């Protein structure tokens, strides 16, 4: 159960997961990207749809993730639709600018990133892990690292220096929503392997 096909053909993403899982699990990019309709209403539902589709297509255990930004003052926007927010805007800098515009007069700028991982081994064996990072939407785009909404998201940190995720690449690697979900999965599978070894 330590080899999974990533429900994506993105080799860089597969490498990122391999690093997060510290060599305990082998994560391979899919030979080709499948067109999976992400019709779920939650991150878990969409992660499941993708993992199931790839597992059934390639006949191997699959890993899928679904993530997004939840903005408290805009409950009907973003979330599972984060990647499809303002579809006419193809550049995320423009999407970030639009988000700032929508929050211009809002006192509540609280937000959080969510990542849900779905490990689909078989129809009878499916595992979910969730990670979140809380924070707020800043006043402007800041930073050159990261991607997506990172330049406008200021994570809650002890330093309280107002830095965005796009200014904190090392911190993000350790404390992001994807890192937290991966850490939870890593702990679970490590314990499962240890138990199996003890029984044998």
Strand partners, 4: 27
Q: How many CB atoms lie within 10 A of CB 57?
A: 16
Q: Is 108 a catalytic residue?
A: no
Measured CA to CA, the distance from residue 200 to residue 10 in angstroms comes to 37
Residue in this structure with the two tokens 């969409």, named with its chain if needed: 46
Candidates 65, 66, 94, 161; catalytic one: 66
For residue 161, count CB atoms less than 10 angstroms from its CB and return exposed for 0-12, middle for 13-18, buried for 19 or more.
exposed
Measured CA to CA, the distance from residue 33 to residue 137 in angstroms comes to 32
- Active-site positions read 66
């Amino acid at each position: 159960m330590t080899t999974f096909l990533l429900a994506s053909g993105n080799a860089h993403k597969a490498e990122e997961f391999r690093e997060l899982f510290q060599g305990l699990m082998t994560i391979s990019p899919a030979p080709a990207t499948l067109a999976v309709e992400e019709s779920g209403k939650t991150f878990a539902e969409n992660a499941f749809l993708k993992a199931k589709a790839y597992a059934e297509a390639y006949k191997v255990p699959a890993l899928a993730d679904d993530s997004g930004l939840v903005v408290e003052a805009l409950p009907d926007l973003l979330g599972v639709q984060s990647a499809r927010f303002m579809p006419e805007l193809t550049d995320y800098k423009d999407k970030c600018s639009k988000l700032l515009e929508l929050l211009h007069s809002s006192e509540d700028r609280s937000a959080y990133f969510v990542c849900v991982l779905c490990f689909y081994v078989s129809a009878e064996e499916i595992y979910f892990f969730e990670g979140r990072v809380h924070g707020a939407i800043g006043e402007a785009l800041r930073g050159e690292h990261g991607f997506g909404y990172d330049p406008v998201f200021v994570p809650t940190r002890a330093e309280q220096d107002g830095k965005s995720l796009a200014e904190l690449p090392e911190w993000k690697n350790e404390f992001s929503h994807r890192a937290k979900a991966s850490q939870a999965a890593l702990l679970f599978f490590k314990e499962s392997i240890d138990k199996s070894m003890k029984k044998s």
